Amino acid sequence: MLRLRPPWYCTKLSDSAVLESMINPFAYKSTPPQFTLSLTDSNSYWRQYTVTFPVAIPGSLYENNTAYGDYYQTLRAGKAPLAILVHGWGDHSTIPMRMLARGLARKGIHAFVLYLPFHSRRLPPEMKERAPNFTPEEWFTGYRVAVTDVRKILDWAQIVTEIDASRIALVGLSLGAFVGAIAMGIDERINAGVFIVSGGNSSKIQQFSRFSAFRRRYRVSAAEYEEYQVKYKQYLEEIAVQGWENVTPSRQYFLIDPLTYAGRLKGRRLLMINALWDELIPRVAARDFQRACAPCETMWLPASHTTIWLLYPLVASRIERFLRTVFHAG
């Protein structure tokens, strides 16, 4: 039986972490991109490459200094936009993202599928055995590595001749949408975002989720929840004035909550696709995020968090149409 730890979002910062939080945790030393591409498949529409590149923050708890991805290069003539696709929890969540990547490449948009640090190919054996029961430090580090992985892909996109670096979008699924919202919020090189079955205010998600594992592991007392919400609201008000880089959070988890960065998404093209019967992401959390980054195009589908992919043709068509419109592609 797994030993349950305090909820991630209730973890207070140590003295050293308080000092470190005053510096952007997603900052990294900029170096020339060192991406290795190996051709694995091709047809008349696209070429698929397996990609490896060094992480921006080596020596992390994950012990794996190599990031992985699949790059689908469209064979349409001229420079084309790039979509960075970030999957959700579980290796199976890469399947719809790879399908979507192939569809985008057929429509004239390059697609890069990033494998998160939480993917089994990147987890050390010990962490793989107890996933998803990670420590707060491991979750925080995983987010930090994932966001900087996205930023390294952006660095690479600036020097690839077939990519139009002025037209870059991010498509995130669930956990990948959390990572994507943070990356988009801190890096203006991402022009457009698509967030699938996602939301903001992580403690609200964990408190009101109907997903049984969340209810057992992360729900806290009403008093603890209210205390957290008061502190988080105060933090959001402070960063709205001073900027998130200049405010020391009282909880480390504030720094990896999509809602923290939602205000920085205003003015960029956004699409949210949510499930009406999502058992993991409460509807109120999705709407909190939508309001914070408005204007935001929204699409509600008659599905749950996992069954939304039974509507894959509809989801894929909506995303492709959105990106072609945003980037005048296809």
Residue 177 included in any domain? yes
**Contact indicator for 36, 52 with CB cutoff of 8 Å:** yes
**Contact indicator for 239, 247 with CB cutoff of 8 Å:** yes
Residue 85 included in any domain? yes
Helices 312-327 and 94-106 sit at what angle, rounded to 10 degrees?
Answer: 50
**Contact indicator for 231, 288 with CB cutoff of 8 Å:** no
Residue 9 included in any domain? no
Residue 30 included in any domain? yes
Q: Which domain holds residue 267?
A: 21-327
**Contact indicator for 326, 169 with CB cutoff of 8 Å:** yes
CA-nearest of 197, 199, 207 to 228 is 207
Cα separation values, 256 from 23, 72, 137, 198, 315, Å: 14, 29, 12, 14, 26
Query: Coil, helix or strand for 311?
Result: helix
Residue 105, pLDDT score: 97
Q: Which helix (H) or strand (E) segment is 284 a member of?
A: helix 283-292
Q: How far is Cα 29 from Cα 56, in angstroms, rounded to an integer?
A: 7
Neighbouring CB atoms inside 10 A of 128's CB total: 13
Residue 108 included in any domain? yes
- What backbone torsions phi and psi does residue 70 show, to the nearest 5 degrees? -125, 125
Query: Coil, helix or strand for 71?
Result: strand
* Predicted TM-score (pTM) of this structure: 0.91
Both tokens of 223, joined, read 């008093």
Residue 15 included in any domain? no
Neighbouring CB atoms inside 10 A of 217's CB total: 16
* Number of domains the chain contains: 1
CATH of the domain at 198: 3.40.50.1820
Both tokens of 133, joined, read 């029961």
Residue 110 included in any domain? yes
From edge to edge, which strands make up the β-sheet containing 192-196? 36-42, 46-54, 66-74, 110-115, 80-86, 163-173, 192-196, 269-275, 297-301
Residue 16 included in any domain? no
Residue 52, pLDDT score: 97
Neighbouring CB atoms inside 10 A of 89's CB total: 16
Cα separation values, 96 from 3, 89, 298, 310, 312, Å: 33, 13, 20, 10, 8
Q: Could you report the average pLDDT of every consecutive run of 10 residues in the chain (330 residues)? A: 33 41 75 95 97 85 83 92 97 96 96 95 88 87 94 97 97 97 97 97 87 69 92 95 90 93 95 96 95 95 95 97 87
Cα separation values, 196 from 73, 162, 300, 305, Å: 23, 27, 10, 9
